[in-house]
């Protein structure tokens, strides 16, 4: 039987930003996904291949991989990517949709005749565009927030169009990139004055090289559903397996501030009830373009309406929690032939809360000493540390070191998860890592 070699690539931890300064918090989340999926593919007897930004080389010890390539600041990460591809039969890609990154990387893999376990080009093309996804939901009679693409005038955002549409909305709305990822660069406006103040700033935080949309803001609970679709032989008949429905911790820093995503928990309360409503909606549409693992973000209102927001044509952070609550390895669903897949029952057996945390170290050790001695000890003591505390830069003499970590519990219920988090924070505090509120 030939070896099953899989190249798992995660953009942030895998060197996609190797020539730029990058925050520990961003690397932290990407690494957590990479570590989780490598471990699960390894359990399915795959030989695992991956690449890692050299700035987090110390974290390579915690990756269940057979072949690791480092990406330095002098490398073209795509050259490393292509070399890793050559060693593999299969490929799984986790990358942001912006600037066509996910599409280009997937195209390279397919051009090299690799069997793809992540989403293909058709699904990426649809999910990467907020406007195309909005039209897709509308065409299939799903409830979705009113959305407009903001036109450009002489290469710049048309502010008059925004003000005009604000009058039409007459309720809160948001501005976000048309090809944005998750809660990245989303701005919330409740009153016209906030909009005017935002666009009269000296440095408007809008990237002139990206397209943006206006979208109605829906008051409700931010949720996502994680799905594996293994279409039947005709390739147009869906064979959806809902892994879980997840709560998302999304908020805004100030009324018109930038949004943030810290994590969430899974499964949600009233899971069975919401799943029934969701399944009725999904029966209206064909998702055959999305073969593999993907997610759909939606908002549940108090009157049980579901507003569909976007389709994520890739694995999302929720996987880090989902893998902790299922009775079997969810990646089995990617491997099974369609007929076998029908008999593979997925059940929930617990609860998981997953989140990124920012920490300050107030001990006397240097960063090198922390990496060499404290981190390995913490990884042994706290199995829930998916990403141990990481810091990419030394502090000034009068400052404390700042770290980011990612934690995912595996517990019986919400209360026991909260209790476990409390114990973890106490353990971190004893090691001189203090949670930043």
pLDDT exceeds 90 at position 208: no
| Domains parsed from the chain with CATH numbers | 5-118 (3.40.50.11770), 126-142+221-249+262-342 (3.30.470.20), 147-216 (3.30.1490), 352-435 (3.30.70)
pLDDT per position as a tens digit, 177-195: 888 776 567 888 888 788 7
One DSSP character per residue, 66-123 reads SEEEEE-TTS-HHHHHHHHHHT-SEEEEE--SGGGHHHHHHHHHHHTTPEESS--HHH
pLDDT exceeds 90 at position 158: no
Pairwise CA distance, residues 31 & 38, whole Å: 10
pLDDT exceeds 90 at position 386: yes
Which has more confidence, 108 or 158? 108
Question: How high is the pLDDT of residue 338?
Answer: 45
Q: What are phi and psi of 244, to 5 degrees?
A: -170, 165
Average pLDDT of 102-107? Answer: 97
Strand pairing report for 401-408 and 352-361: antiparallel
pLDDT exceeds 50 at position 245: yes
pLDDT per position as a tens digit, 109-133: 999 999 999 999 999 999 999 999 9
What is the Cβ-side half-sphere exposure of residue 98, based on CA atoms within 13 angstroms?
Answer: 17
pLDDT exceeds 70 at position 328: yes
| Percentage above 90 pLDDT, the chain | 70
């Amino acid at each position: 039987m030939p070896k099953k070699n899989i190249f798992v690539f995660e953009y942030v931890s895998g060197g996609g930003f190797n020539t730029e300064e990058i925050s520990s918090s961003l690397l932290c989340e990407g690494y957590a996904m990479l570590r989780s999926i490598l471990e699960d593919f390894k359990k399915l007897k795959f030989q695992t291949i991956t690449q890692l930004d050299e700035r987090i080389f110390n974290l390579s010890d915690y990756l269940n991989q057979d072949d690791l390539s480092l990406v330095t600041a002098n490398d073209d990460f795509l050259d490393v990517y292509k070399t890793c591809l050559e060693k593999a039969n299969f490929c799984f890609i986790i990358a942001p949709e912006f600037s066509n990154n996910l599409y280009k990387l997937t195209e390279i893999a397919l051009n090299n005749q690799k069997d793809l376990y992540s989403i293909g080009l058709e699904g990426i093309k649809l999910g990467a565009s907020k406007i195309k996804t909005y039209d897709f939901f509308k065409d299939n009679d799903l409830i979705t927030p009113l959305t407009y693409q903001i036109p450009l005038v002489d290469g710049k955002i048309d502010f008059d169009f925004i003000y005009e549409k604000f009058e039409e909305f007459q309720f809160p709305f948001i501005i976000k990139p048309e090809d944005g990822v998750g809660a990245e660069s989303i701005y919330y406006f409740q009153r016209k004055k906030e909009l005017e103040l935002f666009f009269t700033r000296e440095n408007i935080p809008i990237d002139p090289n990206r397209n943006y949309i206006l979208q109605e803001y829906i008051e409700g609970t931010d949720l996502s559903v994680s799905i594996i679709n293994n279409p039947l032989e005709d390739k147009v008949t869906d064979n959806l397996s809902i892994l879980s429905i997840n709560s998302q911790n999304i908020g805004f820093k100030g009324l018109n501030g930038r949004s943030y995503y810290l994590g969430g928990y899974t499964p949600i309360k009233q899971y069975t009830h919401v799943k029934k409503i969701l399944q009725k909606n999904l029966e209206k549409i064909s998702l055959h373009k999305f073969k593999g693992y993907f997610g759909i973000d939606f908002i549940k209102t108090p009157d049980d309406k579901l507003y569909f927001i976007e389709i994520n044509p890739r694995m999302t952070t929720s996987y880090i929690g989902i893998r902790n609550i299922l009775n079997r390895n969810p990646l089995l669903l990617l491997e099974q032939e369609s007929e076998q897949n029908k008999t593979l029952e997925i059940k929930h057996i617990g609860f998981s809360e997953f989140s990124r945390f920012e920490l300050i170290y107030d001990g006397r050790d240097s960063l090198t000493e922390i990496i060499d001695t404290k981190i390995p000890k913490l990884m042994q003591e706290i199995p829930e540390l998916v990403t141990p505390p990481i810091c990419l830069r030394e502090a000034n003499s009068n400052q404390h070191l700042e770290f980011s970590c990612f934690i995912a519990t595996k517990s019986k219920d919400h209360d026991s998860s909260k209790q476990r988090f409390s114990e973890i924070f106490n353990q971190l505090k004893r090691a001189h890592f203090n949670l930043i509120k």
